[in-house]
Chains A and B, each alone.
Chain A
């Protein structure tokens, strides 16, 4: 594991260290959390959500709990606090924090320990903080210790705020959560968790909604806080790259069981279980060399020139020039708020407020999709970010695919054939046609979205963050699928915030920052010698690790030499 040296990014270097941990003596290395044979079942079906899980964590160390959605990692995380989601129940095993068994305690006894023995940092800080309460009130509430005087409580709150590198003045304590940025909110959540000096802290994907730069800061804070406090951390994530960067131990969960457990370096270098290998290979690695140079075409399929777009009086994009050639994949890389979605929507005719020119096959495209010709609409197709919102829940897959086809191409002679072919191009079998979206998993839904887009035979596919709502392993499969489509001659405009993904899929990349393209060129050139400071920061902040186990180079559809055509 190659730890990124992010210390220069942390605003505050004044971690108070051992004094911060107060009177308690910090004995890092002592085992503080022991979970033994824990089993949680769902009611009323009695299905085991997690079955016989055993883990241990030492003081000052972080255990990375990895697995895809539905593997039971959040259920396990919550049961460490002896909390069960609705209709679930702990039926066996022990959760020992120090020497107390949380699973056997009464609700009242557990409540006494929460926040002090065990604390929790949830996934979304925006929904974890009460929007109606000032930060000071929430932080004091988290420290429910009756033995402290009012002055001591306030002093402790200020101390913990300094430790997470937030201001500790009264003005800040009087703020409401909505007055903070996402990264600041997550720091407040971390402060709330650490304020009671817990023995164990459970972190449930706390950086999923954050930009890579913010994520790097937050991870650094978490790492140093657990060390300084001698707290045992359990970091739940589906992102192997983050875990590889942060954790001392790694436990891999699959279908409610821990299939592999060990020191991080060992698991990463010599994974024993095939599922671990699959997870590791699914992570797109930041590729900084070995890119093929693509010959630029004379007349690109899509040429965006001088595009300036906004909402009302707010300018979001300024002077954008991008072009996509036939059969080429161009990535738009940027963090949230950089205007990348606005740009892709302008190309698709969904965002109308722009000036500048969009030429498609030499012909200018109208701003609104309704003023474009049916042929233009057919040739440019759009795949949305969230597959859970992009399919009409009341229509069968068959009708989802045939709808656009009928409208843009005409009444098909053989509707079943059209559906089957589209599904096949998206690597789904024809039997999916009769299903409703709710009967599909996230990855299957996104495949149906792609099938719907490719059914009309487009030349350009605009993909707006199409993998960000999906698990890493599913992401790898979708990317492989896109590769296949590209080899069949389709051009891709791939919008993403994931620089590692870009380095693996795109031929050219445009880096967007605050509505402007700060860097634009072949991927190999941008990755190996980034010219702009922003690109360099992005590359440095992206968590990354080396794969060294045998067979590793054959990464799932990620290697440019291993392009598998879907048939």
Chain B
């Protein structure tokens, strides 16, 4: 039996308790996260390294249209006789880049709006959130098609439209998270010493909403991949002759019965990427539930 500590005057530091593992390390403990990282990593590797290992250039004719079993073209030719494998290896990075930047911009804008609305409340909150409601009323894909058909399919426009459609959804989540954080006394402590509002938002609030933020980022990335691919398929995304997975599905769907590879490869890549990103997001959100319990006692 150890005697009670008699340290009443100056508390001597005992060995500091180890910090609890952060969001990433907690998420990593789940098997689903590991699977997700492997799947996503595989597709990202194909998309990034693909152009460097592709046997031909994406616009080179190596076979007859929809021809299979050609020497030097493992998966045969596409609708114009170009090498399917080469176009598959080239077609990923555009999708990832567009989806990634759209999700990034959308989540960033949504975070700013959400934190401001949650912290300032009052009329600022009302104006921002009602504007959000208006944006939410437009279906994501229909809005994108509408804008594309008016202005024309441009790369920056794809990113902008998807980002804008993500913003209100992210803003709602972050606003809720912010309202929980500002109930805590450390925000009031910062107000009591007169710290400027923008610094309270960036220094006190933002670091404490990172868990829902990361979950949102993963979720929005998954949606962006889907929308970019669908836009490509509908012909409103990247234009021929660019190699792009969405576009490939569209171009080759007529020959699907005789040359399935030209559709199957991009479809399965998109599917695996979406599933992988979803598994990571799932792991993150499970970890976040444990972390954002708020006050621990």
List A residues at the B interface (Cβ < 8 Å).
254-255, 257, 259, 274-275, 278, 348-350, 369-370, 372, 374, 377-378, 381-382, 384-386, 388-395, 403-404, 407-408, 427-429, 431-432, 435-436, 438-439, 443-444, 447, 452, 456, 476-477, 480, 556-557, 564, 566
Q: Are B208 and A408 in contact (CB under 8 A)?
A: no
User: Within the complex, what minimum Cβ distance (angstroms) separates A269 from chain B?
Assistant: 20
User: Which of B33-41, B58-66, B188-196, B250-258 has 4 or more CB atoms under 8 Å from chain A?
Assistant: B188-196
Q: Are A388 and B296 in contact (CB under 8 A)?
A: yes
How many angstroms from the CA of A372 to the CA of B20 in the assembled complex?
39
List B residues at the A interface (Cβ < 8 Å).
1-4, 6, 8-13, 16-20, 184-186, 188-195, 203-204, 207-208, 295-297
Known contacts A384-B189, A436-B19, A447-B11: does B4 contact A278 (CB below 8 Å)?
Answer: yes
Nearest B residue to A373, CB-CB: B194
- List B contacts of A370 (CB < 8 A): 191, 194
Q: Are B297 and A392 in contact (CB under 8 A)?
A: no
Q: Are B192 and A390 in contact (CB under 8 A)?
A: no
| Chain B interface, DSSP helix/strand/loop, else mixed | loop
User: Within the complex, what minimum Cβ distance (angstroms) separates B135 from chain A?
Assistant: 31
Q: Are A389 and B185 in contact (CB under 8 A)?
A: yes
Q: Are B295 and A389 in contact (CB under 8 A)?
A: yes
Q: Are B192 and A439 in contact (CB under 8 A)?
A: no
Nearest A residue to B8, CB-CB: A477
- List B contacts of A275 (CB < 8 A): 3-4
Name 12 extra pairs, CB < 8 A, besides A388-B297, A389-B185: A370-B191, A374-B194, A377-B193, A388-B296, A389-B295, A390-B186, A393-B208, A431-B13, A439-B18, A564-B9, A566-B9, A566-B10
How many angstroms from the CA of A391 to the CA of B297 in the assembled complex?
14
Q: Are B4 and A439 in contact (CB under 8 A)?
A: no
How many angstroms from the CA of A381 to the CA of B297 in the assembled complex?
25
Q: Are B9 and A391 in contact (CB under 8 A)?
A: no
Q: Are A386 and B185 in contact (CB under 8 A)?
A: yes
- List A contacts of B19 (CB < 8 A): 436, 438-439
Nearest A residue to B188, CB-CB: A350
How many angstroms from the CA of A384 to the CA of B204 in the assembled complex?
16
Known contacts A407-B195, A427-B10, A438-B19: does B4 contact A382 (CB below 8 Å)?
Answer: no
- List B contacts of A429 (CB < 8 A): 10-13
Known contacts A254-B4, A384-B185: does B16 contact A435 (CB below 8 Å)?
Answer: yes
How many angstroms from the CA of A374 to the CA of B193 in the assembled complex?
8
- List B contacts of A255 (CB < 8 A): 1-2
How many angstroms from the CA of A349 to the CA of B191 in the assembled complex?
9
User: Within the complex, what minimum Cβ distance (angstroms) separates B259 from chain A?
Assistant: 54
How many angstroms from the CA of A378 to the CA of B19 in the assembled complex?
32
- List A contacts of B16 (CB < 8 A): 435, 439
10 tightest A-B CB contacts, nearest first: A275-B4, A394-B207, A390-B185, A384-B185, A389-B185, A392-B186, A389-B184, A404-B193, A439-B17, A431-B13
Q: Are A438 and B296 in contact (CB under 8 A)?
A: yes
- List A contacts of B203 (CB < 8 A): 403
Residue of B186, B191, B195 touching A389 (CB-CB under 8 A): B186
Q: Are A428 and B194 in contact (CB under 8 A)?
A: no
Q: Are A372 and B1 in contact (CB under 8 A)?
A: no
- List A contacts of B185 (CB < 8 A): 384-386, 389-390
- List B contacts of A349 (CB < 8 A): 191-192, 194
How many angstroms from the CA of A242 to the CA of B4 in the assembled complex?
22
User: Within the complex, what minimum Cβ distance (angstroms) separates B10 from chain A?
Assistant: 5
